[in-house]
Amino acid sequence: MSSNLFHGTLPPSLLQHLADAGAGGSLTSFNVSNNSFTGHIPTSLCSNHSSSSSLRFLDYSSNDFIGTIQPGLGACSNLERFRAGSNSLSGPLPGDIFNAVALTEISLPLNKLNGTIGEGIVNLANLTVLELYSNNFTGPIPSDIGKLSKLERLLLHANNITGTLPTSLMDCANLVMLDVRLNLLEGDLSALNFSGLLRLTALDLGNNSFTGILPPTLYACKSLKAVRLASNHFEGQISPDILGLQSLAFLSISTNHLSNVTGALKLLMELKNLSTLMLSQNFFNEMMPDDANITNPDGFQKIQVLALGGCNFTGQIPRWLVNLKKLEVLDLSYNQISGSIPPWLNTLPELFYIDLSFNRLTGIFPTELTRLPALTSQQAYDEVERTYLELPLFANANNVSQMQYNQISNLPPAIYLGNNSLNGSIPIEIGKLKVLHQLDLSNNKFSGNIPAEISNLINLEKLYLSGNQLSGEIPVSLKSLHFLSAFSVAYNNLQGPIPTGGQFDTFSSSSFEGNLQLCGSVVQRSCLPQQGTTARGHRSNKKLIIGFSIAACFGTVSFISVLIVWIISKRRINPGGDTDKVELESISVSSYSGVHPEVDKEASLVVLFPNKTNEIKDLTIFEILKATENFSQANIIGCGGFGLVYKATLPNGTTVAIKKLSGDLGLMEREFKAEVEALSTAQHENLVALQGYCVHEGVRLLIYTYMENGSLDYWLHEKADGPSQLDWPTRLKIAQGASCGLAYMHQICEPHIVHRDIKSSNILLDEKFEAHVADFGLARLILPYQTHVTTELVGTLGYIPPEYGQAWVATLRGDVYSFGVVMLELLSGRRPVDVSKPKMSRELVAWVQQMRSEGKQDQVFDPLLRGKGFEEEMQQVLDAACMCVNQNPFKRPSIREVVEWLKNVGSSKPQMNKD
């Protein structure tokens, strides 16, 4: 019964039937994991038949079970594995579970369990796996835990466990992984004898309050590959005995009180397999070791991550770094390093992340830095070794709810040089860094103009130039940076009009403050006619945009790396706080909501449209403010090109989604109201219903029906167990429903609507997993009453039809292409562009076409769907999808034809003209 769409409580009649089967010896396994079952976990399968129960495997994980685990499990005399992680269970461990002495595995992570672990756990002498992480357990680790001599995996991290590591733990000679990170443990570990843990490969003691020197006997654990001791109170020096750990690949001792950095680096250079080394926030006020002290040219030959930030080092950037040819990430931030940035950094072929911020660096931005191979060549960046970390990096080491990252490549290609004393102009050669995602040059002494060549950085997401002495105008070409989500040129000497359009319509006034000669609506200073952009500037900008759009359609390889940052929030190692962490940077949202908090409670009545889904009778702007907590960032549930989407629970208990449109949408208020009211007539069971709108002091809000299950993108690509819960019938139903919604837009509603941005994140799912197309018609708010929509960039990377690189027109056939990509997502479970795949299979459409040409179309299907008896149906849908993504738009079917084909899947093979 696992990995389905079951919900509600488990029927008592089913449980009684299974209990009877258990009594007869026929029930050995009961697995309901990865569903949406609610209520309490039933233990009756054991309680009535303790003497004859044959049940060996019980899995309730990844559901919505609540409450305490009731007694009864102890009666399952032959139960070997019990799993109930990822639920909302609370209360203590049931005492009788310690009577199930056959248990080899207890896995209950990611719940709300509390109380102490209890000494009774040591009765389970056969236990090999104990996973209780991410709960609320308190008290000490059981003092006699060493009696669990077969224990291999002990994962207790992210609780509130106190005390110290019990000495008996050292008797668990079969331990392979021990993780107690993020607890309240303390004590001097140097008295513990780790030398008996010869099988131990991963040890994580981070984020506790351990003291003393690093445990000397730890160096006897020859199998260790990963050690995290970060964020404790260890002191002293790294012992030469560490050279016994020649298998060690990951070492983090950040945020402690170690000394003698020169001695530490000399020793660690001898560990031939070391690839990740994080020593930040130690060695306070020492000198950065120079070439005279570090003389081993063969050291650190496998090092990929080197973090030495936050140590207050003096000295200069050492030249011995030039020997680290595998180096990908270098963090020397938050020190007192002086001198200039060495030009030889560009000889490090795999370096894509440099953080030299918060130092005392002087001199110019070396043009040599613009020739870093992994930042100038997409091919070079793609060939950087994609290493999986033995222990993950965490978004915030002190917050269990944050994400973890298992690959170095999850970090964005970035250069951080902020808060130094660099001077001179920003070189025009900076436009060569086309792989770059983030650039921070803030709070230096740069002067001259902002180079228009920055607009060549087509992957750029964050650009910080504030706090310098820059002059001239903001290049209008920067608005062609369609992925730019954070931008600041505040506190310079800039002048002229602030560009509008593109991402510039999403930036607040704080991005431009401190430049008194800048003008534009965002800073509430009007521009004189002579301050406008010249016709020549317009022509130049159009060329840049055209070039970018063509690259988006035909040169997708140059965009692939941005997808990681598009999907995963932005990260950076930050020695200013907990250095053994990756700091998430979310999309910048201005604290100014756009609606004054003191708005009249009776003012601005919201216009509501009558339709069968609308349960709201009346509504005011004040009630919207209250429901969204004045458009608090905590209530954001979506972000798109047209603005942010907020979840709001209204006074009558109805939950709605409120889209706050961003930027100047080009319509006067009267025109806007007329257009929105026209859109409200587009009503179909497979469209997200527009329930109302409000215009108040220039802020424009659209109110939609809230979709309980979020987007198709979330279920296919974001939710850990999402794909396994979407079986083929459900995926086919989603495709059928979405096609019907799109067909209504294209052929029935008047005037016809071109969506222009069909993608899995714009297909929302209700509580029954029925598909609803979202964001339809919003493009018409830019140019109303047109069935073609002319924009600077149409669509989303991976879904963009090839012809959009040749013309500025979004068409019905373009929508069909994008929908074909969505069908391929449903069939394969893959993203349209996936950097984690081998180079030849990163682009979904091209890969599918290659597989079909080689007669390997069966390999296209999601492994979770294979062997379930739906191969013929999936083949029919694959044929339809490939017709939709035909390179020639005139050979694509109409959406009405697609609807008919999908409707007939499974009953009779759709008749398709494949010519």
Looking at the chain, which residues constitute the CATH 3.30.200.20 domain(s)? 607-705
Return residue ranges of the chain for CATH 3.80.10.10.
415-560
Per-residue model confidence as pLDDT tens digits over 565-589 = 333 333 333 333 333 323 322 212 2
Q: Structure tokens of 220?
A: 């006897």
Mean pLDDT of 74-87: 89
Give the integer Cα–Cα distance in Å for 379 and 135: 44
- How far apart CA 517 and CA 494 sit, in angstroms, is 6
Residue ranges matching CATH 1.10.510.10 in the chain: 712-904
Query: Which is the CATH superfamily of the domain at 415-560?
Result: Ribonuclease Inhibitor (3.80.10.10)
Residue 694 phi, psi dihedral angles, 5° rounding? -150, 135
Question: What is the pLDDT confidence band of residue 619, given thresholds at 50, 70 and 90?
Answer: confident
Question: Confidence class of residue 559 from pLDDT cuts 50, 70 and 90?
Answer: very low
pLDDT at residue 880 above 70? yes
Active-site annotation holder among 355, 440, 757, 834: 757
Taking residues 863-884, what's their average pLDDT?
92
pLDDT band of residue 109 (cuts 50, 70, 90) is: very high
Give the SS3 label for residue 826: helix
856 marked as part of a ligand binding site: no
**CB-based contacts of 824, cutoff 8 Å, min separation 6:** 830, 832, 844, 845, 848, 860, 878, 881, 885
Confidence at residue 215, expressed as pLDDT on a 0 to 100 scale: 93
Contacts of 151 (CB under 8 A, 6+ apart): 127, 128, 129, 130, 145, 172, 174, 175
Pairing of strands 655-661, 699-705: antiparallel
Per-residue pLDDT of 896-914, as tens digits, reads: 999 999 999 977 555 555 4
Q: How many distinct helices (H) and strands (E) make up the chain?
A: 16, 48
With a cut of 70, say whether residue 538 has pLDDT above it.
no
**Position 532 pLDDT exceeds 60:** no
**CATH fold of 712-904:** Transferase(Phosphotransferase); domain 1 (1.10.510)
Mapped onto helix, strand or coil, the DSSP state of residue 882 is helix
| E strands present in 786-900 | 789-790, 809-810
In 3D, which of 304, 309, 459, 480 has the Cα closest to residue 375? 459
pLDDT at 662 over 70: no
Q: What is the pLDDT of residues 808-823, one digit of tens each?
A: 466 888 899 999 999 9
Catalytic residue list contains 757: yes
Dist. CA 250–CA 207, nearest whole Å = 17
- How does pLDDT run across 274-315, given as a tens digit for each residue? 999 999 999 998 999 998 888 888 889 999 999 999 999 999
> 690 near 701, Cβ under 8 Å?
no
Q: Over pLDDT 90: what percentage of the chain?
A: 48
- pLDDT category at 563 given cuts 50, 70, 90 is very low
> What are the strands, taking DSSP E only, across 110-201?
112-115, 129-131, 136-139, 153-155, 160-161, 177-179, 186-188
- Condensed to tens digits (0 to 9), the pLDDT of residues 5-50 reads 778 888 877 777 766 655 555 678 888 888 888 898 887 777 654 4
pLDDT at 754: 83
pLDDT at 25: 54
**Superfamily of domain 607-705, CATH level 4:** Phosphorylase Kinase; domain 1 (3.30.200.20)
- Please give the distance of CA 481 from its chain centroid, rounded to a whole number: 21
Q: Is 197 left (phi over 0), alpha (psi -120 to 50) or beta?
A: beta
857 near 851, Cβ under 8 Å?
A: yes
Secondary structure element (H or E) that encloses residue 423, with its range: strand 421-425
pLDDT digits (tens, 9 = 90+) for 462-477: 999 999 999 999 999 9
The model scores a pTM over 0.85 = no
Distance of CA 332 to the CA centre of its chain: 25
Predicted confidence at residue 582, as pLDDT, reads 36
Mean pLDDT (the chain) is 81
- What confidence tier does 357 reach under pLDDT thresholds 50, 70, 90? very high
